[in-house]
Amino acid sequence: MQNSIKFVVILLATLLFLWLVWGFWPLGNTVSLFLSALAIVIAGVAWYWRFKQQQHSKILEKQVSTMLPPASYQQAIVLVCGQSEALFPNGLTHRETSQAWYVSITSPAMLLDVTQTVVETAPVQLGQLSVLFAVLPEQLVLQETLTQEMLNWRRAISESRSKAGVHLPFWVSLYLSPIQQTDPYAKYRHEERPWLTLLNHQREFQVEQNGSLVQPLSEWVQQFFTSEHQQLHTMLSFDYLLDWLQQVFTPQLTVEQAGVRKLVPSAWAIQFIPITSVENNSWQQFITRRTGLAPLTSTQNVPLLPLPDILLTRLHHDISLNRYERLMGAVGIICGLFLVGALSGSYHNNRQLVRHVGEDTARFIQLSDTPLAPKLVTYQQLQTDAVQLSHWQREGVPTGYSLALYQGSYLLPHLHVLLSSWAPPAPPAPVIVQEASEMVSLDSLSLFDVGQYTLKPSATKVLIDALIHIRAKSGWLIVVSGYTDNTGNPVNNQKLSLQRAESVRDWMIQTSDIAPSCFAVQGNGQANPIASNNTAEGRAKNRRVEIRLMPQVDACQASNE
């Protein structure tokens, strides 16, 4: 389920990025295609990596599922590292007490696998997880072996914290045989033996028994031991143990190592209980160097070493978000980044729109009517801007200009006022003649959009072909006539046909060297159909622009001057 959600997050991030590229950022087709392909490749690699990780997680889950508690388990979960075999004899993989579930971790690699399994299968239990390092000085032999093992454990614990995403509490339990020849704690059952505990904010070890705080060690020794000799012997022996920790064990946790963080235990738990000693162990070597005497060897006489439940309630876990909350946070960040990118793109596009219309407006205001052509071109550009903004107002604003940043609604009224304040000079009065020498008929739909009189970009080729067949000459008038079908209002049809004829005439004047005096325009509307208006094919033929050469005395004299 967790991996499925991550797959959905990857897909969401990819789709939002593609939306940004194609909907909001004006990058051009080439750059947009490249970024889209790159995003899809990255998403595919991430998806494949998550899929392989999911397969690996399933294998790990099968291997360690018997060691971990069920997902509904509410108590503490303790991963026991170090010399954990002594706490889990006879192949035990876990031990359960009234307060916790202890898991035997026999290698650094196993610690990483178990942590990964908890992360993938029961992330809600991360707040119950801690790492306990078990130390038995009487079963440590070589200092070099201890150093290398501690380095590996430190690296594994650091990586486990990274996998878990939380700072897992790290604490230490130490087991040592009583230093006296006779066990002073023999009267207690092994689960009732006192614990010497120390939290990282305390200065002196405390003695706890049956889960209750008794008193500081110095006071407890005076009450527990009746003779001063026993008190002195106990405190001196405990000082030796602290020296061993400071000189032999603790440096293995805190000495700086390349690429490995130091470990500072948040709590210590020490218990004196008979432990089977190995020959020439680390504790024995240390005592011999300090005193010249060898400590007594012992044999473990308890079936299971007690577990330090007494400290569980005082371990400080990180107050952090659980796995699902962090996942939802990641989704929120992705959506937030998308929103920032979309707003940035929309802001840029609207800024460009305002600048473009502003430049057209300023150019139109600055130009005079003489010469007329530049003013007319700018006027037509303003018409194009107004048509586009009107279309967006009717049909909807493009995505790249939206998100409440669209400025076209403020620009359009200004354009309308500006366009209504000026009109091109009226062309010479047309001379209508009856006799025709040459005629070219053009389909209106190839020149104009439906109901429009602005020439389409694709009309240029059609008009050039027509211009080739029309040659201005003295004594002949070029008559441009517009026609429509009989659909719609006759008055509007007549006006539209005239506007279309004027558009064709204006284009020919701007494109060629023919003088304006060579032209006359007519708007015939739906009159003079050349086909039946009862069929779509006939109506299409009637929507036309005709260009004729008509004889006219004194016409087109400018072309010969």
Bridge partners (DSSP) of residue 101 are 77, 96
Give every CB contact of residue 523 below 8 A, 6+ residues apart in sequence. Answer: 481, 482, 494, 495, 496, 497, 498, 499, 500, 501
Write down all domains in the chain, each with its CATH number in brackets.
76-85+130-320 (no CATH), 339-420 (no CATH), 438-560 (3.30.1330.60)
The C-alpha R_g of the chain, in whole angstroms, comes to: 46
Residue 146 has pLDDT above 80, yes or no: yes
Residues 415-424 pLDDT 10s? 888 888 887 7
The sign of the dihedral angle between the CA atoms of 206, 210, 213, 217 is negative
What pLDDT sits at residue 212? 65
pLDDT of 231-284, one tens digit each?
888 888 889 899 999 999 999 888 877 778 888 899 999 988 888 888 888 888
- Look up residue 421 and give its two tokens: 């304040």
Q: Scanning the structure block, which residue is given the tokens 């050349």?
A: 530
Count of alpha carbons within 13 angstroms of residue 290, beta-carbon side: 16
What's the pLDDT at 192? 72
| Residue 430 confidence (pLDDT) | 42
What would the DSSP string read from start to end of 350-383?
HHHHHHHHHHHHHHHHH--SSSHHHHHHHHHHHH
Q: What is the pLDDT, as a whole number, of residue 458?
A: 82
Q: pLDDT band at 188, cuts 50/70/90?
A: low
Alpha-carbon dihedral of residues 358, 359, 364, 368, nearest 10 degrees? 140
The residue-averaged pLDDT of 334-360 equals 90
* Spatial contact of 69 and 93, defined as CB atoms under 8 Å apart: no
pLDDT in the model for residue 147? 84
Question: How does residue 434 score in pLDDT terms, banded at 50, 70 and 90?
Answer: very low
Digit-coded pLDDT (tens) for 273-322: 888 888 888 888 888 888 877 777 777 667 788 899 888 888 877 655 55
Q: What is the pTM of this model?
A: 0.55
Per residue in 40-78, pLDDT (tens digit) is: 999 888 888 877 766 666 666 666 777 888 888 989 999
Tell me the average pLDDT of the chain. Answer: 83
Q: What is the 3-state secondary structure (H, E, C) of 447-468?
A: HECCCCCCECCCHHHHHHHHHH
Cα 328-112-74 angle, rounded to 5 deg: 60
Distance of alpha carbon 69 from alpha carbon 208, whole angstroms: 28
